[in-house]
A and B are shown apart, each in its own frame.
Chain A
Amino acid sequence: MNEGSETLLRLTGVRKSYVTGEGPIEVLAGVDLTLQAGKSLALTGESGSGKSTILHLAAGLDEASAGRILVAGTEITHAPDSLRARLRRDTVGLVFQQFNLIPSLDVAANLAFQARLAGRHDPAWQAELAEALGLKGCLHRYPEQLSGGQQQRVAIGRALAARPRLVLADEPTGNLDEASADAVMALLLRLVAQTGTGLLMVTHSMRLAARLGGRLHLSAGRLA
């Protein structure tokens, strides 16, 4: 179902609960959220409030218990695995808190991986990203040979290399020093402004959150 090209992400009444040994735990208790193209949103909240769960649902990595989720106009709430996989490949750029690089590929291959999956590999853009992220000197090294900060930058570069329409980032600068974090944020925001990408970023840093176009605070599974 297509509901307008300007809205990249829409969550309506989204609930998510997990069944545990001690009974069901409700993580999200009815979340409504909209992100327009070219806009950025910071998602803050205490640990365990469900921030990462919103990102996972938005990326189609997990299924909501109730509510609706639309990504770039496509409803993914109960979409089959293959459709959600295609959406992640073609539309979404994911930046994980734990980097999750592919250990068997070198930095250059990691940077290019998702762009090539999406069929949008642009070597010039990749070179620009590597330059901007300070990765030019380690393109042929393997993830295990990089520091935590370098791995974080590769993960960001990988997500941006495909020029995704929607970037979902989970604490993307958590492992970077302040100067590097600022540089990465500047890059992310430049991409949003230049290409009309939507950015939803989970962060604990109020300083970084303040640099984004809007901020949503999650508490006890609800947006405040």
Chain B
Amino acid sequence: MIAAALSALLSHWRRQPLQLAMLLAGLALATALWSGVQAINAEARASYDAAAATLGQDRLARIEAEGPIPQDVYIALRRAGWPVTPVVEGRLRLDEGRSLHLIGIDPLTLPAPAQQVDFGQGDALLPFLRPPGLLFANAETLARIDGAALPPLRLADRLPPGTALGDIGQIQRLLRMEGRISHLLLDPEAAPGPLPALAPGLRLLPPDQRNEVARLTDSFHLNLTAFGLLSFAVGLFIVHSAIGLAFEQRRPVFRTLRALGLTARMLTGLLLAELMLLAGVAGLAGLGLGYLVAAALLPDVAATLRGLYGAEVPGTLTFRPGWAAAGLGIAALGTLASAAQGLWRVARLPVLAPAQPRAWAMASARAMRRQGLAAGALLLAALGLLIWGTGIVAAFALLAALLLGAALLLPLILSALLRGATRLARGPIAEWFWADTRQQLPGLSLALMALLLALAANIGVGTMVSSFRLTFTGWLDQRLAFELYLSAPDEATAARVTDWLQPRADAVLPIFRAETEVAGRPAQLYGMTDHATYRDNWPLLAAVPDVWDRLASGDWALVNEQLARREGLSPGDPLHLPGWQGRIAAIYSDYGNPSAQVIVSTARLLALHPEVDRRRHGIRVAPDRAAALADDMRATFDLPEAALIDQASLKGFSVQVFERTFAVTAALNVLTLGVAGLAMFASLMTLSGMRLPQLAPVWAMGLTRNHLAWLDFLRTLLLAAATMVAALPLGLALAWVLLAVVNVQAFGWRLPMHVFPLDWLRLGALALLAAALAAAVPVRRLARLAPADLLRVFANER
């Protein structure tokens, strides 16, 4: 009996292949976008874990200073009985566009948890230690650095991407860090006691203190997840629509099966089995598509993470069974969520239910009222979250409530508008057109809601990105005011270069940085020398009068927006740093920097941190002379390529990072719009099959099929245009929330909002094009409908 019943249920799909295709496509696309994003996140997180575990840093304590540690200090510590091992770390610029994270170690003193590479024993270790030494890297890194002028390369799969490991001596030479060490590693159990006096300025960090990349990138991944979820929700609109229609069309079958002896529980169980079968098929297809989406987007994401956070993520994807299982699970959950209402109805279906399908496309006034109430509740929840919510999760909950509430409200607004249009219409065709459009609205509302979400996301994210771009490029012009940036290999060279520059440059100003703490949390501390370069350009958001004079006095400081927001600081407030008590002179914008930052005068910085690294300087020179001066400096002092960066390259790099950051969101936006277009197509195709009884009488009374087809086409365009108009305020609200709430919570800075009406026009045209494409097939089908099909409406066959 079960087999017969299941076969009867499944036969529906044989007769409705398009419906089946739409259901599978909707579910596959929803799963694809969601699991694609999850694949990217999983890959990134695996990389963070691998990076955190490099050289066993997740299990070893670390000794570090404000700058590099002299090698003598290391030797002194070893002699004092400290079993420390030295590590040299830095980024080596290979050529234009390629760089490599280098780690130098001493294999002879390396503790067991740090043994990631098999260097060999005894004589086998010699090639590693002797010049030119060996560099170990994973397969992807080896492929990326192929052809670079480096020591011989060896494969070591356990190393994180973008990283190469070599003997400390070779790495010091490559990084020009001879005689200096980045930090020391130590088994925490083996520390003989507190750090001895022979190592002033050193601090001992427990093993888990440095794994910050995962935390820093959390917001970025949360953003991606939110977009994945939005795309998933848009895809589910198609699934819900297709399943709802299939359930309604099969009501006579359900009734017959019940009448023939199937219990409600068995029927529901069979439908559930059918749905899980479909979810399995679509889920597998979705996983395949998701893998492709992730593989296509990962290089951009990797570049973004590298540029923004210095986080190394491989550009290629690894297949993870856990990810596949989660993808299939979300496909099944999505299907269940979409079918819940239908299954509930079937479970409660009386045996003597009416055999005719209920008017699927008709919504009762009560249902509309319920929808209005749900929309109102969600919008109120959004308002509540805006006023009282804190944290990034509350910010995303606010976005979800706002979007869902507005989507539920859309059919009600459109219905009211159409009712008004019907009243104002003159002429029978116009009257019929508006009334008929209103009657079709419930059947199209899911697709229109999906379109609204996709358009609002496009407007919102587009506005945010464009506002960000405008602000960011303006800010870059202010912040990157030096024509050249010098990072000398050592302080002696830095001193010689700055002396040499005195008669040749307009100004040479130090850019010194130390680490400090504000309110018990780490912060960067910079020194600023009083100069017109800063007075004219530095992007201040709020300041006390005479800010620059006060800063120069050494008793005042500037803080970045992130820190000001985090600690609730304003100009004039007191500020306490270790060893210094001053006040805040101004707050400046500091986009792209995830850390807190404080600026004091250079003299104050040197007083607080005499050990500060003095290799970096900014050089002012006439822009047309910058390139020649840089060449001259390189030739005179044999400076490596990376030691001098010109403003244009730095700006170009920053803008490139910016563009790649948002390339992913742009791609997801386009995909979401595509899914919404498909939802529209699915709904229109479904409706076109159900509309014959409504169209046939009008045709019989004298409207040609062409006329009717054009009216249907116009109707789709009008609904899409109305949805676009509704998406505009919603998109702007979304942009505002992203700029003023999500960004502040996620990154700590708030951006001014700019509007771009030309982009809206472009998007409006795109929405109309999507609607026209979605309507093209059903409309063409209507125009070419055989009269026999319309005549069937008048016969007893229906």
The answer to whether A131 has its CB under 8 Å from any CB of chain B is no
Specify the chain B residue showing the minimal Cβ separation from A100: B697
Query: CB distance A59 to B359 under 8 Å?
Result: no
Cα A90 to Cα B795 with chains together (Å): 23
Contact with A along B690-714 (1 / 0, CB 8 A): 0001101111111111110000000
B76 within 8 A of A: no
Query: Chain A residue with minimal CB distance to B706?
Result: A81
Instruction: State whether A61 and B428 are in contact (beta carbons under 8 Å apart), knowing that A56-B794, A109-B435 are contacts in the complex.
Output: no
Residues of chain B from 117 to 158 with CB closer than 8 A to chain A in the complex: none
Asked if A97 is an interface residue, CB under 8 A from chain B, the answer is yes
Shortest 7 CB-CB contacts between residues of A and residues of B: A89-B702, A116-B428, A104-B439, A104-B435, A100-B697, A88-B702, A104-B436
| Contact residue among A94, A118, A144 (Cβ-Cβ distance under 8 Å from B700) | A94
Within the complex, which residue of B701, B787, B795 is in contact with A117, where a contact is CB–CB below 8 Å? B701
Q: Which residue of B lies closest to A112 (CB)?
A: B428
Give the complex CA separation of A98 and B696 in angstroms: 12
Measured between beta carbons, the chain A residues less than 8 angstroms from B698 are 102
Contact A94 to B704, CB < 8 A, known contacts A104-B438, A113-B432, A144-B359: no
Of residues 777 through 795 on chain B, the ones whose CB sits less than 8 Å from some CB of chain A are 787-788, 790-791, 793-795
Chain B residues near A112: list those with CB within 8 A: 428
What is the CA–CA distance of A98 and B798 in the complex, to the nearest angstrom? 9
Other A-B contacts than A81-B705, A85-B703, A87-B702, 19 sampled, CB-CB below 8 A, are A61-B787, A61-B791, A62-B787, A86-B702, A88-B700, A89-B703, A96-B697, A97-B796, A98-B794, A100-B693, A100-B700, A102-B694, A102-B697, A103-B439, A104-B694, A113-B428, A117-B701, A117-B702, A170-B794
CB nearest neighbor in A for B436: A104
Q: Does B436 contact A102, Cβ atoms closer than 8 Å?
A: yes
Residue of A nearest to B429 (CB): A117
Given A81-B706, A170-B794, residue A100 in contact with residue B696 (CB < 8 A): yes
Taking the complex as formed, is B431 at the interface, i.e. its CB lies under 8 A from any CB of chain A? yes
Complex alpha-carbon distance, A56 and B700, angstroms = 9
Q: How many of A's residues come within 8 Å of B, CB to CB? A: 34
> Which partner residue on chain A sits nearest B694 by CB separation?
A103
Q: Is A63 an interface residue (CB 8 A)?
A: yes
Quick check: B793 and A100 within 8 Å, CB to CB? yes
Q: Are B704 and A100 closer than 8 Å at their CB atoms? A: no
A61 to B791 Cα, complex, angstroms: 7
- Are A81 and B697 in contact, with the CB atoms below 8 A? no
In the complex, the answer to whether B793 meets A98 with C-beta atoms within 8 Å is yes
Asked if B427 is an interface residue, CB under 8 A from chain A, the answer is yes
Contacts of A101 in B (CB 8 A): 697
Q: Which of B428, B432, B796 has the most CB of A within 10 A?
A: B428
Contacts of B790 on A, CB cut-off 8 Å?
61
Q: A59 with B700: in contact, given A100-B793, A104-B435, A104-B436 (CB under 8 Å)?
A: yes
A114-B702 contact in complex given A63-B787, A100-B696, C-beta closer than 8 Å: yes
The answer, among A61, A88, A89, A104, for a CB contact under 8 Å with B432, is A104
Separation of A86 and B702 alpha carbons in the complex (Å): 6
- Residues of B bordering A, CB below 8 Å: 359, 362, 427-429, 431-432, 435-436, 438-439, 693-694, 696-707, 787-788, 790-791, 793-796, 798
Residue contact B704 to A114, C-beta cutoff 8 Å: no
User: How many A-B contacts if CB must be within 8 Å?
Assistant: 92
Contacts of B429 in A (CB 8 A): 117
Query: In the docked arrangement, what's the CA distance between A104 and B705, Å?
Result: 19
Q: Nearest chain-A residue to B437 (Cβ)? A: A104
**Nearest CB in chain A: distance from B434 CB, A:** 9
Of the residues A82, A97, A98, A113, contact of B701 by C-beta under 8 Å: A113
Asked whether A90 lies within 8 Å of B702 as measured between CB atoms, the reply is yes
Can you show 27 pairs from A to B with CB atoms below 8 A apart?
A52-B795, A59-B700, A61-B787, A61-B791, A61-B794, A63-B787, A85-B702, A85-B704, A87-B702, A89-B701, A90-B702, A96-B697, A97-B796, A100-B696, A102-B435, A102-B436, A103-B439, A104-B432, A104-B439, A105-B431, A105-B432, A109-B428, A109-B431, A114-B701, A117-B428, A117-B703, A118-B702
Instruction: Write the A13-48 contact mask toward B (1 if CB under 8 angstroms, else 0).
Output: 000001000000000000000000000000000000
**Complex interface: chain A residues within 8 A of B793 (CB):** 98, 100
Closest to B440 in A: A104
A115-166 contacts to B, CB under 8 A, are 116-118, 144
A144: B residues at CB distance < 8 A: 359, 362
Contacts of B696 in A (CB 8 A): 100
What is the chain B residue whose CB lies nearest that of A89? B702
Inter-chain CA distance A87–B702, complex, in Å, is 7
User: From A18, which residue of chain B is reached at the shortest CB distance?
Assistant: B788
B180 to A: closest C-beta gap in Å: 82
Residues of B within 8 A of A98 (CB): 793-796, 798
Nearest CB in chain B: distance from A81 CB, A: 5
Q: Distance in Å from the Cβ of A58 to the closest Cβ of chain B? A: 12
CB contacts (< 8 Å) of A59 on chain B: these are 700
- Interface positions of A from 57 to 108, Cβ below 8 Å from B: 59, 61-63, 81-82, 85-90, 94, 96-98, 100-105
Chain B residues whose CB sits within 8 angstroms of the CB of A89 once the complex forms: 701-703
A56 touches B791 (CB 8 A): yes
A62 and B701 contacting across the interface, CB-CB below 8 Å: no
Q: Known contacts being A104-B439, A109-B431, A109-B435, is A96 close to B704, with CB within 8 Å?
A: no
Distance between Cα atoms of A95 and B702 in the complex (Å): 14
- Cα separation A101 to B791 with both chains bound (whole Å): 15
Assembly CA distance A114 to B795 (angstroms): 21
A112 to B798, CA, bound (A): 26
Contacts A85-B703, A101-B697, A103-B694 known; A96 to B794 CB distance under 8 Å? yes
